[in-house]
Amino acid sequence: MNAKIQALLDSIREMEHEIELELQRRRAGLQADFEAQRVRFEQEVLAQHQRFKMGVFKYLLSSDIKSLLSAPLIYAVIFPMLLLDLFVWVYQWVCFPLYGLARVQRADYFVFDRVHLGYLNLVEKINCAYCSYGNGLMAYAREVVGQTEQYWCPIKHARKVLYAHPYYMGFVDFGDAQGYREDLARLRKQLAGLKDEAEQGGPPPQPPGTGAV
């Protein structure tokens, strides 16, 4: 990879790390105690949450007609999402070992901690869980297809790609035929390296040469 691009990616990694540290300080300021997968709020915060909680009946009455009419369509999307979830899981469970790649840990991409927020009623908690599932599923699928693309076609596009997956910046430049033939094996070996890291334990492996924290 170009040295200047690598330096920029290193800078992005450092900034992302600083952002995460700032978010941790903010969570501490809200008196939230994050313990593993459980969130426990101090009693004062819980009492404040109860003051701002809106009952389900009042919440539904205050909803505008557009939200109520669109709700069935919104929740109907759960069916294609479940199918996507199933097919992505089956695909990477079957194919990734054949490529010598580590299976993506699905559980790493789904976070359902908003259920602990006392100011949310039952309907709002269901809505939040639904959004969490949808976004977690997209992130999980993005990781699987990102690794797949690096294995089979690690070539940048001629046009700018919006919000490309984290593997994309390490791909070979568009039109660089020699680079593609020379780097394909190396890029596949990088993915195999992720598998080695996963088997050794520790934190989830990160895309090589990216700004992931």
The model's pLDDT over 4-51, given as tens digits with 9 standing for 90+, comes to: 777 787 788 788 888 888 888 877 766 555 555 455 556 666 776 777
Q: Tell me the whole-structure pTM to 2 decimals.
A: 0.72
Sign of the alpha-carbon torsion through 39, 40, 44, 46? positive
Residue 34 domain-assigned (yes or no): no
Residues 121 and 55 sit within 8 Å (Cβ to Cβ): yes
Residue 39 domain-assigned (yes or no): no
Residue 134 domain-assigned (yes or no): yes
Structural domain range at position 87: 62-150
Residue 161 domain-assigned (yes or no): no
Residue 70 domain-assigned (yes or no): yes
From 118, 104, 1, select the one nearest 48 (Cα to Cα). Answer: 118
Number of domains into which the chain is organized? 1
Kindly report, residue by residue over 44-90, the tens digit of the pLDDT. 667 767 776 777 777 677 778 888 888 999 999 999 999 999 999 99
Residues 32 and 45 sit within 8 Å (Cβ to Cβ): yes
Residue 35 domain-assigned (yes or no): no
Residue 117 domain-assigned (yes or no): yes
Instruction: Compute the C-alpha angle 15/18/24, nearest 5°.
Output: 145
